[in-house]
Chain A
Amino acid sequence: MTRSQPSQPARQESASARALTAAQAALAAEHAAVYGYGLVGARATGPRANEARDAYGGHLARRDALTRTVRGLGGVPRPAEAAYTLPFEVRTPADVERLAAEIEERVAGAYSDLVRAAEGPLRREAADALSQAAVRAARWRGGGVAFPGLAERSDRARHS
Chain B
Amino acid sequence: MPWTTPSRRSLLATAAGAALLTGCSGGGRSASGSDAPLERRVREAAVRDSEALLERYDATVRAHPALGPRLAPLRAAVAEHVGALRPDGARPTPSPGGSRAAAGAPQGARGAKGAPAIVAVTVPDQPAEAVAELADAERGLAEARVQVLADAPGELARLLASVAACGIVHHHLLTSNPGGQE
Q: Which A residues are closer than 8 A to B by beta carbons? A: 1-2, 5, 11, 108, 111-113, 115-117, 119-120, 123-124, 126-128, 130-131, 133-135, 138-139, 143-150, 152-153, 156-160
Contact = CB atoms under 8 A, between A and B. Distances in A.
Interface residues on B, range: 20 to 34
A119 B106 CA distance: 29
A124 B146 contact: yes
Interface of B: 28, 31-33, 73-74, 76-77, 80-81, 84, 92, 96, 142, 146, 149-150, 154-155, 157-159, 161-166, 168-170, 172-173
B33 A149 contact: no
Contacts of B157: 115-116, 123
A127 B77 contact: no
A147 B168 contact: no
A127 B166 contact: no
B32 A127 contact: no
Contacts of B158: 112-113, 115-116, 149-150
Contacts of A11: 33
The 5 closest A-B pairs by CB, nearest first: A159-B73, A146-B77, A134-B165, A116-B158, A144-B169
A130 B80 contact: no
Nearest to B28: A1
B31 A147 contact: no
Contact of A115 (B31, B73, B161): B161
Given A131-B142, A153-B84, A159-B73, A117 B173 contact: no
A108 B162 CA distance: 9
17 contacts: A2-B28, A5-B31, A115-B158, A116-B158, A123-B157, A130-B162, A131-B165, A131-B168, A135-B168, A138-B169, A147-B159, A149-B165, A153-B84, A159-B74, A159-B76, A159-B77, A160-B173
B28 A120 contact: no
Given A5-B33, A143-B73, A156-B80, A150 B164 contact: no
A148 B84 contact: no
Contacts of A123: 149-150, 157
